[in-house]
A and B are shown apart, each in its own frame.
Chain A
Amino acid sequence: MKRLAIVLLAFACATSAAAETLITSLSNHRVLINSNYTGTSIAVFGAIERDAQTIARATAYDVVVTVRGPRQLLTVREKEQIGPIWINREQQKFPAAPAYLSVLTSKPIEEITSVQLRQRQKIGLRAIINAPDFTNERGGGADREFREALYRLKAQEGLYLEDERGVTFLTPDIFRASIPLPATAPPGEYDVQVVLFADTVVLASTMTHFELVKTGFEEQIGSIARDLSLLYGLATALLAIAFGWLANVIFRRD
């Protein structure tokens, strides 16, 4: 009940106080992967439109861009020492974690809005990772170190990142951000959420998508391996034997 009230209140504030409209656009909605793909970056452009009724803001606008890649089932395991050896003991499953997650902001997220709002709206990397529905809770907050480990391991691969200077304002009403996509980010649907803030309050938000797809040879190999797997396996085996035979012929020297 209390939660509903807060949501309603937030909604009421958003509609009454904010007459700003947010318009965003991506530089590319379909990124093609070919044989020399080594990662890319996608630009997000945004404009804030104000109409005659819009009240003058004392503070500048802030923008948070959140990009979520395709969902994966991830398992984090922890090694513990049993006698002289280290073995996997505890594990924690993350049933629908994004394969790629980046949060780009115009200034440090702590300065943009309150902890409560960040947690409620899942704004910022920590808020997403520490959200109750991200994984099962454990007694005594034991799930916390697994969440941290997931972030750390993903960040090492460049797949989870937070950039507090990721969004730049070109004019007070126009901004741009660049989403860095490392080559290891998997093909699939990516959601881009742009949220506009002023004075710690959400004014507007938009949701767009882009798609990372394999093309040409890469796409064909992928679909043959999936749909005609026996044929693909036999072909690979034959290819390997043919190469082996070829090498034997080439190197024969008697």
Chain B
Amino acid sequence: MPDMNAIADRVASATPPHVGKAIRGLSDRSIAWIFVAPTMILLLAINIFPLIWTVYLSFTNYASNRPNRAVVNVGLKWYQDILSSPEVWAAMQATAHFVFWTIFFQTLIGFGLAYLIDRKFRGHAFWTTIILIPMMLSPAVVGNFWKFLYQPQIGLFNYVISFFTGIPPSSFEMLGSVTLAPWAIVIVDTWMWTPYVMLICLAGLRSIPDYIYEAAEVDRASKWRQFWSITLPMALPFIMLAVLFRGIENFKMFDMVVLLTGGGPGSTTELASITLKRQAFEAYRTGYSSAFAIILFVVVFGLANIYVRALNKVKQR
């Protein structure tokens, strides 16, 4: 093509001679490196280096509010302290409770909603959008709003509960009660993130072709059997993916819970991330909190890895 040659000639003539010479001297491999390098440098600077630095700090007595103090190596002291601290175990337990029950309800309700929306009734697109609204809000907004909703005297939540059950609205405090507060945060997170799980499940359900159901119908499979032998197994990888995303996300839950309960009452809703923040930026025990962060990292990373393996197994079937 003469046009292309003409363009190439023009580009060549427009390149200053010294630049052309310099570029021509580079191998393909080095050009590739030049293109990749900025990203790699950025990743190293903001991801890898801080991680390594945290590992280093976790073995020292460094405190970020006393930068001039001599840094002493304390070995595994922080790790021993953390793993034998009842406070930390309580926080881990609160986190586990929160993660387990949010995933449980979100998956159950999310899949249920997806199953209903997938019926493709009139206006299903409109209802999908309506259902998605909570997850579009900022967690800070959600936290503040629900704080009002949970307010025992004027809150809508207590009013609705009392309307249906007859329990007087100011007789219980969702956020102030030791037994109710852990459930209060589960309710809010479920309200906010069920739509997300629904969306992923819906994608899964939509990926099942109609003719498989038709084949099953001709094969005399009841709706119930179709659900258990077609719908659920074929949507399972999607459900598992939703669980993975929500699990990782909720393991590091911070903002919404801080706004709702601040970890209280007492420390009943103090999740691991809140404990960590307090140690790092209120007590300024940088070494200790670094060790705690590493432990959390290993736990999440390990669990996610095991889970992804299980997910791949399911997908390969």
- Do A and B come from the same complex? no
A interface residues (Cβ-Cβ under 8 A, vs B)? none
